[in-house]
Amino acid sequence: MSQPEPEPVPEPEPTGAAEPWSNSSLGDFYPEWGWNVTGEGEPEPEAEPSFGPCVQGVLVALAVLIIVVGSVGNSLVIIVIGKMRAGRTVTEVFLTSLAVADLLVCMVCSPLLVVGILVHSGHTGVSYRVEQFLFYFSSVASIFNLTAIALDRYDAVLHPMSRRLTLQRCRPVLVLIWALSAAVAVVIYFMPSEYEFIVLAICFAFPFAAMVISYARILSAAKAAERRAAGNKESSRTNTSKTDKTVKMVIIVVVVFAVSWIPSLISRLLKYVVQMTPEELSVMEVTACLIAYGGSALNFLVYAFMSRRFKIGMSQLFRCHRFIRKVNPADDDIGKTRMNSAMMVTVQNANTTKPIAAIDEKQIYQLD
C-alpha cells in the first residue's frame, strides 16, 4: 500500500532582512538600536483630536501673529546688518545667523503648525512630522547662536586685549553651529520618541548654563567698573546708569530664553508621565510650540533693537533723518559705545605704581 505523498511545504516569503540597506527594513535589521527610520509605529493619538472653534481660532491667530512679527523683524535684521559692512562685529555676524534660524521658525515651522491646526484639527499628520524636524533643526540652531552671542560678550569683557573670537574665526564656528543643529535634528527625528526629552533637555541645559555664567561674569565686570569710578561723581552716575541698563538687558535675555523653551521641554515630558486625552495632548503641544516660536519672533527685539548701530542702520534704511540726528553715530553698537573714561590697570613694581593697560569700558557694555 503506497504512502500518501507529503504536502509540499510552502516557501517562506522573502523578508526585508535580506536587504539590510533598504529603508523599509532598517528597524528590523538593527532592532537593538531602536531607531525608527521609516517613521512607522510612531505613537500618535488613537483618534484625531478636534479643537473647539474658539480654541482653534485663538491658536491660529497667535500663530499668524508670530509669522508676521517674526518674519518682518528677522528679515529687517538680516537686511540692516547686511548693509552695515564697515566695522561689522562678531556679535552682528551671530545676530545674522540667529535671525536666519528664527526666520526659518517663523516662515516655515509656524505655517506648518497652522496647517496642523486647521487641516488635521491637531498636531498630527505629515505636516506635523515635517514641522517637527524643522523645529528641531531651527530651534537648536537658534539656541546655539544665542549661546555663541553670550560667549562672545564674555570674551569681549573678560579678555578685551586678546580677543580669541575674531571675524575670521567666527566663520568655522557658524559652520559648526549649523552642522550640530542638523545632526541633533536627525538624531531626535529617527530615535525612539521616549528619548526625545533627554536630548532636548541636554540641548537646553548646557547652553542655558553657559549663558547664565557668561552674563553673570559680565555683570560682575560692570559692577567692578562702577566701584572703580565711585570717586568721580559724574563718572559714577554714568557708570551706575550703564550698569543698571546692563543688568536689565541681561535679565531680559535670560528670562526670554528660559520662558521660550522650558514649556516645550515640560510638554514633552508630561506626555509620557501624565495620562491625557488626545485633545489635551494636542493643545498642550501646540501651545508649547507657539511659546517657543514666539521667542524666535521676539529675539530680534531683545538683541538687535537694543543696539545703537542697528537703530542707525534702520533709520538709514527708511531714510528717517530726524531719527538719525537724535542718535549719535559715535555711540555705536552692540559692541562699540562711547568711552567716557578709561580704567587704568596697575601693578606694583618696587615702590612705584605703573599703569600697564587702559581697559576700554565700552567692552563691558557690549549689549548697550
Distance CA 247, CA 229 (A): 18
* Residue whose entry in the numeric block shows the C-alpha cell 498642550: 284
Who's near 193: CB < 8 A, 6+ residues apart? 36, 42, 43
Q: Is residue 17 part of a domain?
A: no
pLDDT recorded at residue 171: 87
pLDDT recorded at residue 74: 92
State the pLDDT confidence band at 233, using cuts at 50, 70 and 90: low
Cell of 334: 552692540
Q: Does residue 78 or residue 195 have the better pLDDT?
A: 78
Helices (H), the chain: 26-29, 53-83, 90-104, 110-118, 125-158, 167-190, 196-228, 233-273, 278-302, 308-317, 321-326
Q: Is residue 301 part of a domain?
A: yes
Q: What percent of the chain has pLDDT over 70?
A: 65
pTM of the model: 0.70
Residue 131 scores a pLDDT above 70? yes
Q: What is the DSSP letter of 41?
A: T
Q: Is residue 266 part of a domain?
A: yes
Q: Does residue 251 or residue 76 have the better pLDDT?
A: 76
Q: CATH number of the domain at 157, please.
A: 1.20.1070.10
For 10, list phi and psi in degrees, rounded to 5.
-65, 140
Based on the structure, what is the number of domains in the chain? 1
Distance CA 336, CA 89 (A): 9
* Residue whose entry in the numeric block shows the C-alpha cell 551671530: 94
Within 10 angstroms of residue 123's Cβ, the number of other Cβ atoms is 24
Give the tens place of pLDDT for each residue, 23-71: 333 333 334 434 444 445 444 444 455 567 888 889 899 999 999 999 9
Please say whether the dihedral angle defined by the alpha carbons of residues 58, 64, 67 and 68, taken in this order, is positive or negative. Answer: negative
Q: Is residue 104 part of a domain?
A: yes
Buried b (16+ CB within 10 A) or exposed e, 176-213: ebbeebeebbeebbbbebeebbebbeebbeebbebbee
CA–CA distances in Å: residue 8 to residues 12, 204, 223 = 12, 61, 89
State the pLDDT confidence band at 309, using cuts at 50, 70 and 90: confident
pLDDT recorded at residue 246: 65
Domain that holds residue 133: 53-326
Q: Is residue 35 part of a domain?
A: no
Give the range with max mean pLDDT: 24-38, 122-136, 252-266: 252-266
Distance CA 254, CA 305 (A): 17
Q: Is residue 333 part of a domain?
A: no
* 278, 49 Cβ separation under 8 angstroms: yes
Who's near 323: CB < 8 A, 6+ residues apart? 311, 315
Q: Does residue 294 or residue 191 have the better pLDDT?
A: 294
3-class state of residue 150 by DSSP = helix
Q: What angle do CA 293, 297, 298 make, to 5 degrees?
A: 120
Distance CA 67, CA 111 (A): 7
3-class state of residue 129 by DSSP = helix
* 217, 250 Cβ separation under 8 angstroms: no
Q: Is residue 366 part of a domain?
A: no
Q: Is residue 11 part of a domain?
A: no
